[in-house]
Amino acid sequence: MITARAPVAQPVPSRTGIGLGVAGAVAVAAAVLAPWTGLGGQVGLTPPGRVMLAAMAVGLGLAAAVSPRRAGCWEALAAGLAALGAAAVLSALTDVLAVAAAVVLVGFAQATRPGRAALAAGLRGPAFGAALLGVGWTLARLPGAAGRTGALCLGLGLAAVAGLVPYLAVVHRDEPAGSPYLPWTAFFGPAVALSLPARFLAGLSLDEGTVLGATLVGLGLLNLAWGTIGAWRTGSDAEAWRCSFLADWGLVLVGLGLFRPDALAAAYLALLSLVLVRLPLALAARPVPEGEQARLAGPFGGLAVVLLAGAAPFSGFPVRLLLVQAATAVAWPLALPLVAGMLLWVAHAGRLARTLGPLQGRTAAGFWLVVACSLALGLLPGVLRAAAGL
Amino acid sequence: MSLADLGLHMVALLVYPGLATSILFGALAEAAFAFVRGPGGLGEVVAATLVRLRLAVTAAGAAELAAALLAVLASAQLAAPFNPVSPLERNLLVAAVALIAAAWLAWARGWRASGPALALVTQACWLVALVGPALVSQTLRPQALGAMAVPAQLPLKVGSAVLYLVCLPGVLQLLPDLTPGAGPEREAQAAGGRLLLWLPMCGLFASLFLPPASADVLGTVRFVAVCGAAAAAAIGLGAGLAGRAVPAGHYLRVAVPLAGLVLGAAAVTSVVS
């Protein structure tokens, strides 16, 4: 994402770029070392947040490896460190208002990068999400209807920050990697989603928690339906990739909203898969010229279809298994739309795999690393759950 | 939290120490800055400042509105006397992140090519001044940091206060490299961007580096006086640097080593205490 978004390869980053990179490295160090500073109770990463931060560092490396667009090595490093630092700050802040302010700050930094969208357009989603989080957190501590409205705002704010339905940004048809939704949906969104709901829940009553859970499950099902059907039916490959992210987020939101250990683990594994597998593959995709028929690219193609369909033994399988188990335990009718969505998922996997195009040299090596990560997520979910204390 | 608490929070955001107080303090500070920097009598300067602020408010867009909201949120975190927000709910990190975001948003429409790097370094030094004492005291409550008077921590507190004052012209965008340029429209843009930042920036100085002011008239006067003194220091330093056309690099040669010293002092104090 970081390297691909740079429109022109620059071997040496600007002074501001170096400054942002250093600031990012300091932020990561501060977030990781917070428990030893005495401020651990007020700032710090949760165990899942720590694993996610490590996964993001790996994901950025994979993204740089598989992306067909090249940027300068130092520029990519500076931009990657800055992005990682921003994700660390979003994960480590415990005060919801501070998280909301940080979302605006990161949104601003993201919106000022070169691209087609105007500053205001790039900032609109994060700013609206931050406003919903701020208002939600203020109202959620009030009794009665105001508290329930606050819980609803918190759920909607999380969706807005991640750029999900109903807050979709415009996707440019010919530059999937340059689309403004990608940093929030595939990078910063997971950092917020993994740490923030736990912070909300500590301050919510049972009633408000139920409203928050219902909101998340509802948004999850909506995004799952929108994502699976959209990725299958849309005419644009860039839009199809975005819809596939939405489908993943659908599973994540349902997992977060069920408040059960298995469901939370499913959400956590889905977010890891989103950062380590789907994000690099989305950046490896290239638009197929109009009038040209896309084909599966050799041995990669078949493997990519299986991987993107969420079949065993890859990363999507334990997510689906855990989520259906949890949904069945809570209310079995909930499993029906989930299973339907998962079956529909297969329809768009082939289409997405075709956009990967021929992979050679560096990009092919990057692809095999992504496959290895997906296999690790699929075969060792217990180890990853234990690392996050889930 | 009850509905009465929500009302008090709204008062804090919209009236004191939030929007209304910030506008008043910011307008006075802007008038003082214009008076120190340029020619003209006091009445003339005040009238020109009011015109500039009116221009800035009428030209404000969504980014400026977001900046205003964040600045007001930061104001509500101050350890000001009679602040309706409970001391337990105030958070230094909320103020710091909100102020940094507000400063960038307010500045976005008029930055120069050399500006972002300078702003970034100045903000990093300013953050060191905020976080250094917090790391040693192990708290993020502004009033608790202000009340801290352990002898072993005093050198760090004094060093951080000096660094904070040195960074103020930078974070308040008073330096020539951080202003959009000359001309009425540009000056209105700069003044509008700074208007709501004056009180939270100067108020944080009073909250963090001096014992909390008591909730009475005398305490309020003391808090306002300290805020005014911090603003005066920022204005003096900013106008002095602009008047002598000191390059930004020279300014950073003072701020960055001082930030390094404060970090070192924080590490030593942390080990000693």
Q: Which tens digit of pLDDT belongs to each residue from A164-191?
A: 988 887 776 655 455 678 889 999 999 9
Asked whether residue A21 is domain-assigned, the answer is yes
What pLDDT score was predicted for residue A172? 65
Query: Using CA atoms, how far apart are residues A359 and A297, in angstroms rounded to an integer?
Result: 8
Is the whole model's pTM more than 0.95, yes or no?
Answer: no
The answer to whether A101 contacts B98, with C-beta atoms less than 8 Å apart, is yes
A294: its two tokens: 């896309």
Least confident interval from A6-10, A216-220, B54-58: A6-10
Asked whether residue A71 is domain-assigned, the answer is yes
The answer to whether B101 contacts A39, with C-beta atoms less than 8 Å apart, is no
The residue ranking higher by pLDDT, A80 or A170, is: A80
Query: A389 — alpha (psi -120 to 50), left (phi > 0) or beta?
Result: left
Asked whether residue A8 is domain-assigned, the answer is no
Average pLDDT over residues B188-197: 85
A43 — phi, psi (to 5°)?
A: -140, 140
Number of structural domains in chain A: 1
B16: its two tokens: 């004191």
Nearest to A198 by CA among A52, A34, A373: A52
What pLDDT score was predicted for residue A100? 95
* Degrees to nearest 5, angle at CA B225 with B222 and B226: 90
Asked whether residue A34 is domain-assigned, the answer is yes
**Min distance B167 CA to chain A CA atoms (Å):** 17
Asked whether residue A192 is domain-assigned, the answer is yes
Question: Any residues with CB less than 8 A from the CB of B196 and at least 6 apart, and which?
Answer: B19, B22, B23, B26, B67, B68, B71, B72, B75, B102, B106
What pLDDT score was predicted for residue A9? 42
**Min distance B61 CA to chain A CA atoms (Å):** 9
In which domain, by residue range, is A339 found?
Answer: 17-388
Q: How large is the ipTM? A: 0.89
Query: Using CA atoms, how far apart are residues B46 and B53, in angstroms rounded to an integer?
Result: 11
Residue type, B117: A
Q: Which tens digit of pLDDT belongs to each residue from A31-63?
A: 988 888 777 677 889 999 999 999 999 999 888
- Residues from chain A that touch B120, judged by Cβ atoms under 8 A, are 16, 19-20, 23
Q: List residues in chain A touching B: CB distance below 8 A.
A: 14-16, 19-20, 23, 37-39, 42-43, 89, 93, 95, 97-98, 101-102, 104-105, 108-109, 112, 119-120, 123-124, 127, 131, 134, 138-139, 141-143, 146
The answer to whether B101 contacts A14, with C-beta atoms less than 8 Å apart, is no
Asked whether residue A155 is domain-assigned, the answer is yes
Q: Contact at 8 Å (CB) between B175 and B251?
A: yes
Query: Using CA atoms, how far apart are residues A237 and A109, in angstroms rounded to an integer?
Result: 27
B58: its two tokens: 């009428």
Asked whether residue A12 is domain-assigned, the answer is no
- Residues from chain B that touch A143, judged by Cβ atoms under 8 A, are 2
Q: Which residues of A35-68 are buried (b: 16+ CB within 10 A; e: fewer)?
A: eebebeebbbbbebbbbbbebbbebbebbbbbbb
**Across the interface, which of B62, B100, B117 has its CB nearest the CB of A120?**
B62
What's the per-residue H, E or C state across A271-296? HHHHHHHHHHHHHHCCCCCCCCCCCC
Asked whether residue A11 is domain-assigned, the answer is no
As a whole number, the mean pLDDT across chain B is 89
